[in-house]
């Protein structure tokens, strides 16, 4: 069974429109001798509000996924919660499995039947009755019981590792961006080359939420490191961006990034939202920045020169924001020429050549691909690290895409 959502113990007053809660450098906390949360706020932080919570207020133990193909992050569970049970033994037992490698123990799930719901005390007794013990969190993380039955690979299993009270802080800051990126709930329905689209923050769109930890009802898609959900706790079909932030925050989650939506990490989670535009936490490129492609047919120039041609200045921060951010790359190309890019070349990454080649750019031989858009020939180049404003591409055919102000 999935663990319950963490209960917040302290919450500062929040601004009307905020970025999603995230780890940051806004505050730190520690547990006092009387089991309270003591918070220290950092002055000068870019975040102007924070919340800190006691992560495990009751006596508890670590739970771990039964198979690492379903998850690797251990979590805290109160001893009174109910979870699945697998047992370990330091000696061989009939029908118990030993997976070798890092595993020096034998594991089993039939005790003698499947135990799908037990408190920590009950789990301990079940294992003792079979002449075994609860596995350590490390033994579970090493997959020492994986494949031992009951379908428990996809569940969170009690371990013998006790936890002590601790606390965590997350941060947010007042948001002034006028636009945020929306992305289709499934790339199957995206008619925009799977690039996100900027929408006014006060317009209304559908909402899906993401979480960096498991939450009840949330699903984790293969290839994604986060969990997603559409029922929050009902379908939200027409929310402003600020309302969407609040709706996700209310269930201990956050808005997904445009990249997570682009990666289909919430696809199939319900409400018919696969075919709708979903709010993301990704702010649209500032309206003051104009993305301009080098107009030269040969002898490609730096972005400093490209912007100067338009009586503007290259904005280095906009280039920096592209690094390791596929959604931002695609939004930049979309801002330059909507619908042009229908396929991507990332070949510069294999030799760490992206900066020297002038990423992001379009090769001269593909500059007119937009005329063949229906055939899917809009080829654009992206890759990190991006070239700095003053970098002239080593190949004169690489026409740089430049943020100009």
What pLDDT score does 252 carry?
A: 83
> pLDDT tens across 58-88, in order?
678 989 989 988 877 777 788 888 999 999 9
Q: What are phi and psi of 63, to 5 degrees?
A: -110, 145
Q: Which residues of the chain have pLDDT under 50?
A: 1-21, 45-47, 176, 371-376
Does the predicted TM-score (pTM) go above 0.75? no
What pLDDT score does 236 carry?
A: 94
What pLDDT score does 74 carry?
A: 78
In our burial notation (b when 16+ CB lie closer than 10 A, e otherwise), range 70-104 reads: ebeebbbbbbebbbbbbbbbeeebeebbebeeebe
What pLDDT score does 386 carry?
A: 93
Q: Which residues pair with 211 in a beta bridge?
A: 227
Residue 361 · residue 381 · CB < 8 Å:
yes
Q: Which residues pair with 157 in a beta bridge?
A: 64, 84
Cα–Cα distance for residue pair 238/229, rounded to 1 Å: 16
Residue 246 · residue 209 · CB < 8 Å:
no
In our burial notation (b when 16+ CB lie closer than 10 A, e otherwise), range 161-172 reads: bebebebebbbb
Residue 63 · residue 41 · CB < 8 Å:
no
For the chain, give the secondary structure using H, E and C. CCCCCCCCCCCCCCCCCECCCECCCCEEEEECCCCCEEEEECCCCCCCEEEEEECCCCCEEEEEECCCCCCCCCEEEECCCCEECCEEECCCCCCCECCCCCCCCEEECECCCECCCECHHHHHHHHHHCCCEECCHHHHHCCCCCCCCCCHHHCEEEEEEEECCCEEEEEECECCCCEEEEEECCHHHCCCCCCCEEEECCCCEECCEEECCCCCCCEECCCCCCEEECCCCCCCCCECHHHHHHHHHCCCCEECCHHHHHCCCCCCCCCCHHHCEEEEEEECCCCCCEEEECCCCCCCCCHHHHHHHCCCCECHHHHHCCCCCHHHHHHHHHHHCCCCCCEEECHHHCCCCHHHHCCCEEEHHHCCHHHHHHHCCCEEECCCCCCCCCCCCCCCCEEEEEEEC
What pLDDT score does 27 carry?
A: 72
Cα–Cα distance for residue pair 172/178, rounded to 1 Å: 17
Contacts of 394 (CB under 8 A, 6+ apart): 356, 357, 358
Q: Which of 25, 158, 175 is nearest to 81 (CA)?
A: 158
Q: Which of 43, 50, 45 is nearest to 18 (CA)?
A: 50
Residue 111 CA: distances (Å) to CA of 84, 131, 164, 234: 11, 10, 29, 38
Cα–Cα distance for residue pair 206/265, rounded to 1 Å: 15
Cα–Cα distance for residue pair 198/335, rounded to 1 Å: 9
């Amino acid at each position: 069974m999935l663990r319950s959502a963490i209960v917040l113990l302290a919450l500062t007053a929040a601004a009307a429109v905020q970025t999603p809660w995230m780890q940051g450098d806004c505050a730190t906390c520690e547990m006092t001798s009387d089991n309270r949360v003591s918070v220290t706020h950092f002055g000068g932080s870019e975040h102007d509000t924070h919340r800190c919570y006691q992560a495990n207020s009751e006596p508890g133990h670590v739970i771990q996924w039964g198979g690492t193909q379903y998850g690797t992050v251990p979590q805290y569970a109160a001893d009174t919660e109910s979870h699945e049970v697998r047992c370990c033994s330091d000696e061989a037992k009939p029908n118990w499995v030993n997976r070798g490698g890092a595993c020096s123990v034998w594991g089993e799930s039939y005790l003698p039947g499947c135990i799908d719901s037990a408190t920590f005390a009950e789990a301990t007794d079940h294992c003792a009755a079979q002449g075994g013990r609860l596995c350590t969190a490390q033994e579970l993380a090493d997959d020492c019981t994986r494949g031992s039955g009951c379908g428990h690979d996809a569940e969170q299993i009690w371990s013998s590792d006790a936890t002590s009270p601790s606390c965590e802080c997350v941060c947010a800051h007042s948001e002034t961006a006028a636009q945020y990126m929306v992305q289709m709930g499934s790339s199957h329905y995206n008619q925009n080359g799977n690039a996100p689209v900027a929408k006014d923050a006060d317009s209304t769109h559908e909402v899906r939420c993401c979480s960096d930890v498991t939450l009840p009802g949330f699903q984790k898609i293969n290839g994604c490191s986060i969990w997603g959900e559409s029922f929050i706790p009902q379908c939200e079909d027409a929310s402003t961006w600020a309302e969407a932030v609040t709706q996700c925050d209310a269930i201990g989650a956050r808005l997904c990034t445009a990249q997570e939506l682009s990666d289909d990490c919430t696809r199939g989670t319900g409400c018919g939202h696969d075919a709708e535009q979903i709010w993301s936490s990704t702010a649209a490129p500032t309206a003051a920045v104009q993305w301009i492609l080098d107009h030269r047919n040969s002898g490609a120039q730096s972005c400093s020169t490209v912007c100067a041609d338009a009586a503007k200045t290259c904005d280095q921060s906009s280039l920096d924001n592209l690094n390791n951010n596929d959604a931002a790359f695609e939004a930049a190309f979309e801002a330059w020429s909507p619908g042009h890019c229908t396929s991507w070349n990332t070949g510069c990454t294999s030799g760490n050549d992206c900066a020297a080649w002038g990423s992001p750019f379009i090769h001269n031989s593909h500059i007119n691909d937009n005329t063949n858009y229906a055939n899917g020939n809009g080829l654009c180049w992206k890759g990190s690290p991006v070239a700095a404003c003053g970098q002239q591409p080593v190949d004169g055919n690489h026409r740089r895409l430049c943020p100009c102000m």
